[in-house]
Structure 1
Amino acid sequence: MKITVIIPTYERPDFLKETLESVWAQTVLPDEIVIGDDSKSDATEDLVTNVLSHISPVPIKYFHHKPSLLEVKNVDFQYKHATGDLVLHLHDDDPIYPNCIEDLKKPFLDHPEIIASFGKQRVINEDGTYIENSEIVNDVYFRTPDREGLVDGFIAGAVSMFPNNSFLVRRDAVISIGYSDQGRAGKATDFFFGLQLGKLGKPFYFVNKFTAKCRIVKESQSRTSTSDNNYRMVKILFEDCSKAQLNIPEIEISIRNNIPMAITVAARVKDKKNAFKWLFSKYYRHKLFGPRGIKRIILAANPF
């Protein structure tokens, strides 16, 4: 199976170079790399076309979008221009471990029915140093040793077990649904994509190995948009899941974890209907008359 690596990038040539070097260091090299550049400046283009393309052991297809396509359309563009049967979806600032492609490709050979595979992540600071005990993030998203192997794709997408990057996916599956949030996900586009992929009803495969690093930078979505992500995720789950699906233990746990901040954001954006619905739902009712619960009731009634 032919493998394409796609990397959307924006004004971060140094991080992009580091991520590309991690791709070049793979025990199994991909067949091509597709870079979609939304940068306003030409610094990344100069680096890729004048330096990196000449030293890359893998052919690079580089596209500089002027005007910028923005993230969702940029990623969709790259999937459409990839020629691999499988696509490794990377972020420009998140390098991968040397075993990543080899470990994520193997499940497709052993289990041809799967449409995606993914491993575990370690979180790093902007300078590349490890954040102590960051491995626990995998436990939060159900990436635990007991779940290694075939997993229900819908559940994996619904609880963000399926990660936001560094996963290997069948290109034809992505093309069938398109990489689009349909105007519903805000900054939670990666979550929405995983959920839509899971709706195809095919299994995913969880590899119980560290395959990628997730860098936290000043502009990182995980820092600046977490609360909006909570709101979008909970709203989408309530809209898209059946009652039976909402009662799946893993999905119920995920909603319980996200709903406090989701209620706060719903109140602040004057989405009173959902704010009150979630306040009195079984996922939050037990916290309703605690100090924070009372504050959220007041906020929902009188949003500022």
Structure 2
Amino acid sequence: MINISVVCPTYNSAKFIEATLETVVRQTRLPDELVISDDGSADDTLDVVERFLSAHAGAMPWRILRNAHRGPGATRNAGIRAATGNWIAFLDSDDLWELNKIERIGQEIADHGDANFFCHDELLVGKNGQTSTLVYGGRYNGERPLPPQLYFANMFSTSAVVCRRDLLIAHGCFDESLMSAQDYELWLRLSPFMRPVFVHDILGRYVERAGNITSSSLQRRLKNELLIARMHRHKVSAPWFLVRVGRILLSYARQFARASLA
């Protein structure tokens, strides 16, 4: 049986969470459960969520977890552990789904009985309103091991992922000590056990928001990406580890330069 629980972490999301939830309750195939996991929001996020879901009480079972502020990894983990479905669909509180997302992924799950991890394409909505397509897994080679491929390029986006709950539980869920890139670290940790399917349909929208890229946030992200590269260096040979570190440093040098001009 395919039971899909949606896990939606929130943190000071009052301005945009309603639009996100609208794309859940209007699905052509409703999920079996919605778990809102709040990271100790200081605004009225939970009031907005409760009013919205109460107005759509008959749509699906839902619950709200009121957590202390511990960061995105701990918040997602609380949602995963509380979920009752055998599949988890992640949805960040500022992203949007196409209305056939759950129906389409449910079909893919039924068609690929051996798969335990699905990822679909997304539409990137830039801060200026311009859009472009994010094609995940475009360079994935099913004839080669996944771990070294994933080590050099993240092929997954959290709000585009639907995966087996038992896969997450068996391998420790998100690293709660990482305040950024904890999703990428989890995918790397899961990669030896993944049986992925890439669905090349645009089933979601990744929304960029103004003010989320600052010099301090870039510094934290750079530190975490270098840490993750070191944590998973066993997935590649030593020379390729150095190549990966060089690519990270070059990428962030460019991002720092763009941020300084913004």
Fold match by TM threshold 0.5: yes
Label 1:166 to 1:221 Cα distance change in 2 as closer, same or farther (>3 A).
Answer: farther
Q: For structure 2, which runs of at least 5 residues remain unmatched after alignment?
A: 258-262
User: What amino acid is aligned across from residue 44 of structure 1 in structure 2?
Assistant: T
The 3-state SS of whatever aligns with 1:192 is helix
Per the TM alignment, residue 172 of structure 1 is displaced from its structure 2 partner at its CA by 0.7
Distance in 2, matches of 1:206 and 1:222, equals: 32
Q: Which residue of 2 aligns with 1:50?
A: 51
Which of the numbers 153, 157, 170 marks the counterpart of 1:163?
Answer: 157
CA RMSD between the two structures: 3.4
The 3-state SS of whatever aligns with 1:62 is strand
The aligned length equals 253
User: What amino acid is aligned across from residue 59 of structure 1 in structure 2?
Assistant: P
Matched, 1:81 2:73: no
The 3-state SS of whatever aligns with 1:122 is strand
Q: For structure 1, which runs of at least 5 residues remain unmatched after alignment?
A: 266-291, 293-304
Would you tell me which structure has more helix in proportion to its own residues?
1
Higher relative contact order (CA 8 A, sep 6+): 2
Distance in 2, matches of 1:108 and 1:252, equals: 38
Q: Is the 8 A contact 2:25 2:56 kept in 1?
A: no
Q: Which residue of 2 aligns with 1:31?
A: 32
User: What amino acid is aligned across from residue 37 of structure 1 in structure 2?
Assistant: D
**TM-score under structure 2 normalisation?**
0.80
Distance in 1, matches of 2:74 and 2:196, equals: 25
Percent identical among aligned pairs is 23
Distance in 1, matches of 2:144 and 2:4, equals: 22
Q: Is the 8 A contact 2:71 2:179 kept in 1?
A: no
Per the TM alignment, residue 58 of structure 1 is displaced from its structure 2 partner at its CA by 1.6
Q: Is the 8 A contact 2:18 2:52 kept in 1?
A: no
Matched, 1:220 2:208: no
Label 1:192 to 1:101 Cα distance change in 2 as closer, same or farther (>3 A).
Answer: same
Q: Which residue of 2 aligns with 1:203?
A: 195
Which of the numbers 178, 183, 187 marks the counterpart of 1:190?
Answer: 183
The 3-state SS of whatever aligns with 2:159 is coil
Q: Is the 8 A contact 1:152 1:203 kept in 2?
A: no
Distance in 1, matches of 2:149 and 2:54, equals: 36
User: What amino acid is aligned across from residue 170 of structure 2 in structure 1?
Assistant: S
Distance in 2, matches of 1:103 and 1:247, equals: 41
Distance in 2, matches of 1:149 and 1:16, equals: 36
**TM-score under structure 1 normalisation?**
0.70
Task: Give per-residue Cα distances to partners, 1:161-214, cap 9 Å, x unaligned.
Answer: 02132310101111112223263x441111111111213x23111001111111
Matched, 1:233 2:225: yes
Per the TM alignment, residue 59 of structure 1 is displaced from its structure 2 partner at its CA by 1.8
Q: Is the 8 A contact 1:216 1:222 kept in 2?
A: no
Per the TM alignment, residue 87 of structure 1 is displaced from its structure 2 partner at its CA by 0.7
Label 1:51 to 1:25 Cα distance change in 2 as closer, same or farther (>3 A).
Answer: closer
Q: Give the greater-gyration-radius structure (CA).
A: 1
Q: Which residue of 2 aligns with 1:282?
A: none
Would you tell me which structure has more strand in proportion to its own residues?
2
